[in-house]
Amino acid sequence: MALPEQLSPPRHIAIIMDGNGRWAKQRGLPRTAGHAAGAEAFRRIANYCRTLGVEYLTVYAFSTENWKRSAEEVAGIMKLLRRYLEEALRDMEKNRVRFRFFGDLSRLSPELQTLCHDAENRSEDYDVQVNFCLNYGGRDEIVRAARAFAADAAAGRINPETLTEESFSGYLYSAGVPDPELIIRPSGEQRISNFLLWQSAYSEYVFMNVLWPDFTSAHLDEAIAEYHRRNRRFGGT
Ligand code: IPE
Ligand code: IPE
Ligand code: MG
C-alpha cells in the first residue's frame, strides 16, 4: 500500500466533506441518506489515511452556518455523529485514531458533548489524529482567539506587544497542530466556506468533481499526486 517516496502523503490533509445532499438527490433519497453515505466515506478515508501514514486528518463535518438547514436535516446529522462516536469509542483500540474537536461544542446536545470529550480523552496516545470540525467556523475561531488573547492581556498575563503569529496560533482550536499542506474539496464547489481561514494561508487546494459519498482511496491518491505537481513557493522564488 505504501506510495513511492515522491508521492508520500503530506503530514496534514484537510477535507471539506461536501456533496452529500446532491448525492442523495441524484438517487431520489432524503438528504439524510446522503449524510449517512458521507459518514461511510469518512470511515473509509480515515482508515486509508492511517494506512498511508498521514499524521493529521482534519475534516469539516458541520459549520457554524449549517444550523440554517431544516431542523430535520440537522437532527439527522447529529444522530449520525452520535452513532459514529459511539462506534469510535467502542472500536478505539482497533482503529488507533486520536480525536480532537475544533468548534464550539456547547451548542451540541449534552449527550453529544460527552461523547466528544470521551473520544478526546480516551484516544490520547494513538497514531493518526483526526480533527473533527463541528459547529466550526474559521471566523468564529479567530474571534474567539482574539477574545481569549484580549482577556489575557487585560488580566496582565501577557504583554500585547509580544504577540506573534505563532503565539496567536496557540489560541486557535488547532493549537499545536501544524497547518495543513493540502486541503481537498470534493463536490465541484470552489470556495472555502469558512474553513481553516488562518491555517490555510499557504495550503494547496485541490477541488474535485466527485461527491463526498463517492470519494474513494483512489481519489485521495489523485489529490496527493496533484499536490506533488504543485510548486510551493511560500512567497519566495
Ligand atoms: C456536506 O454535504 C455535509 C454538510 C454540510 C453537513 P451537503 O449537505 O452540503 O451536500 P450538498 O452540498 O447539498 O450536495
Ligand atoms: C461546507 O459545506 C461545510 C461542510 C462540508 C461541513 P457547505 O455545503 O455548508 O458550504 P456552502 O454552503 O456550499 O458554501
Ligand atoms: Mg454543501
Of 146, 205, 204, give the one whose Cα is nearest residue 170.
146
Task: List pLDDT tens digits, range 56-71.
Answer: 999 999 999 999 999 9
Give the orientation angle of helix 110-122 with respect to helix 71-90, to 10 degrees. Answer: 30
Q: Are 43 and 58 in contact (CB under 8 A)?
A: no
CA–centroid distance, residue 114 to ligand 3 (Å):
27
CA–centroid distance, residue 165 to ligand 3 (Å):
31
CATH number 3.30.499.10 given to 12-138+179-229 = no
Question: Taking all residues of the chain, what is their mean pLDDT, rounded to a whole number?
Answer: 95
Residue 193 alpha carbon, nearest atom of ligand 2: 14
Q: For a substitution probing ligand 2, which of 17, 18, 131 has the most ligand atoms within 8 Å of its CB?
A: 18
Question: 48: Cβ–Cβ under 8 A, 6 or more apart, which residues?
Answer: 217, 220
Amino acid 93: pLDDT: 82
Q: What distance in Å separates the CA atoms of residue 62 and residue 67, rounded to the nearest whole number?
A: 8
Backbone dihedral region for residue 190 (phi beyond 0: left; psi -120 to 50: alpha; all else: beta): beta
**Ligand number with the minimum distance to the CA of 135:** 2
Q: Is 165 helix (H, G, I), strand (E, B) or coil?
A: helix
Amino acid 96: pLDDT: 85
Question: Average pLDDT, stretch 98-117?
Answer: 97
15 lines ligand 1 (CB under 6 A): no
* Lining residues, ligand 2, CB within 6 Å: 16-18, 60-63, 66, 189, 191, 193
The answer, as to whether pTM is greater than 0.95, is yes
Residues identified as active-site: 18, 66
Q: Are 31 and 20 in contact (CB under 8 A)?
A: yes
Edge-to-edge strand list for the sheet holding 128-136: 97-102, 128-136, 56-63, 12-16, 182-185, 204-207
CA–centroid distance, residue 61 to ligand 2 (Å):
9
Beta strand segments in 50-90, E: 56-63
Over 70: is that where the pLDDT of 199 sits?
Answer: yes
Handedness of CA 155, 157, 162, 167 (dihedral sign): negative
Amino acid 94: pLDDT: 84
Residue 17 alpha carbon, nearest atom of ligand 2: 5
Q: For a substitution probing ligand 1, which of 16, 18, 40, 62 has the most ligand atoms within 8 Å of its CB?
A: 18
Task: List pLDDT tens digits, range 153-195.
Answer: 999 999 999 999 999 999 999 999 999 999 999 999 999 999 9
Over 70: is that where the pLDDT of 2 sits?
Answer: no
Q: Percent of the chain having pLDDT more than 90?
A: 91
Task: List pLDDT tens digits, range 122-149.
Answer: 987 787 899 999 999 999 999 999 999 9
User: What are the structural domain ranges in the chain?
Assistant: 12-138+179-229
Split at pLDDT 50, 70, 90, the class of 106 is: very high
Helix, strand, coil percentages, rounded to 5, for the chain: 50, 15, 35
Amino acid 5: pLDDT: 57
